[in-house]
Structure 1
């Protein structure tokens, strides 16, 4: 089954988000702009000399993702979902290569983010078609209202997730597909159960994932993470201040970024 969200005022999106734990088909970019940002991403990969898939804090070394996740359209949507004070916690590209076996097991993001309290939302912005054939996301409506589920770590070569984390007992018939065209985004809550199947298409499935939180959220497992204020006011100062990119892949920023990426992955290991 596929789910489609009607375009409308932000209040309508917010109501659907509160009910289902996600919204889809949110227009962020034109198809032409999405294609341009895809080109910039693939040029950056070539310059970087390695895949940029699942590299944390990519917005601290590369301007394209920084521009995308701080655009007024994105921030207006995030404001409607979690309020006017917004911190950007992390930005990563999530890529499934064509005709690959890569998949994402059923999981809940907040289990592994090492956070306590407050509100949050994740955006997944499509830079190439995310269809049933290419392995678009699947979500269980309303699952965010049930809180945290037990996860088992089952590392597997084809599982995109860092630890192979998985929730058992999901009724596949309860899941809905969230297909996206380039330039469209979905937004989901950290307790919403979601997963995706392999990419059976002949194109790369490229998405940009951004994690937004309210400033009252605090790191829960002892580390002092970084975050960037992107709208409103931070009256709590629970996170170290993030330094955004001021160019693409500069040597100085790359050296600092390696430490940030290691810090995020250490959080995932400990949580």
Structure 2
């Protein structure tokens, strides 16, 4: 079902992003937020964390029923399909959680630098589960930078940066051109994998909670020797570039935890052979 207007699709293709697009009610967004707080807070499931399970904020859709439902949300997929077609995989998902007063921020970067995917057709759907605005440290994106191709990045050691090594695009970004991606709970933004974007610290009074879902058309492949995993969430996979991930039978089902660890292990194995992926956030 087509939900993006022709103007929205044109804006995405020309500028590299589109927002806002409402995909659920504020009440539904609050339900998802409560599920996030229940399962992925810093204090959630410490016993599992001690067993070596990676952060529940990375690919939670392999572990929790709420997240598996969210990445398959019909209206999110309708919007993504309008951009990349009907055969859709989820390659990666990261939760972005900034507490009030936190100095954490995200430097200027391109997502595609660290995914090792070709061609560059991945789209990120950023789902707001709390207010995302200038006070809370919303995403800011520089228009038309998705047309500049892959740009070099460098590591910037800084504990406040939310990327693993502080990887930052080597470019003097004209921040005056950046557009703040202001979203209310239940709205999403869509941005191209090569669009340069960043976010500032949360100076507001509420947590800023959002989930970045990386969707790819099924013909996109991983360029390295490691065979990675992905989830088919709409249409068909006629290419077989990835091992398909299982949907969790229940929260933290043993099979789900095993699939989560397997996916993570392969991802980091790939990062060792592809320098561009070594700093994936």
| 2:166 is the alignment partner of 1:169 | no
2:64 aligned partner: 62
Distance (Å, rounded) in 2 between the aligned partners of 1:118 and 1:159: 25
In structure 1, stretches of 5+ residues that fail to align are: 1-7
1:202 aligned partner: 205
| 2:215 is the alignment partner of 1:212 | yes
Q: Which digits, 9 at most, give the CA deviation of each residue in 1:6-64, with x for residues without a partner?
A: xx744332111101101111101111111111001111135423699673321111111
Count of residue correspondences: 264
Which residue of 9, 20, 23 corresponds with 1:14? 9
1:253 aligned partner: 256
Please report how far the alpha carbon of residue 268 of structure 1 lies from its aligned counterpart in structure 2 after TM superposition: 4.6
Distance (Å, rounded) in 1 between the aligned partners of 2:131 and 2:268: 28
Stretch deviating more after TM superposition (32-41 or 10-19): 10-19
Q: Which digits, 9 at most, give the CA deviation of each residue in 1:167-205, with x for residues without a partner?
A: 131011111111111111101000000000001112211
Distance (Å, rounded) in 1 between the aligned partners of 2:251 and 2:93: 15
Stretch deviating more after TM superposition (251-260 or 171-180): 251-260
| 2:45 is the alignment partner of 1:42 | no
Distance (Å, rounded) in 2 between the aligned partners of 1:44 and 1:196: 24
2:230 aligned partner: 227
Q: Which digits, 9 at most, give the CA deviation of each residue in 1:62-93, with x for residues without a partner?
A: 11121112111011101101111111112221
Q: Which digits, 9 at most, give the CA deviation of each residue in 1:209-231, with x for residues without a partner?
A: 11111111111121111112111
User: What are the within-5 Å matches in structure 2 for residues 58-207 of structure 1?
Assistant: 58-117=60-119, 119-167=121-169, 168-207=171-210
User: CA RMSD, aligned part only?
Assistant: 1.9
1:243 aligned partner: 246
Distance (Å, rounded) in 2 between the aligned partners of 1:265 and 1:207: 24
Distance (Å, rounded) in 2 between the aligned partners of 1:38 and 1:53: 17
Distance (Å, rounded) in 2 between the aligned partners of 1:219 and 1:263: 12
Matched-pair contact (CA < 8 Å) for 2:91–2:215: yes
In structure 2, stretches of 5+ residues that fail to align are: 277-281
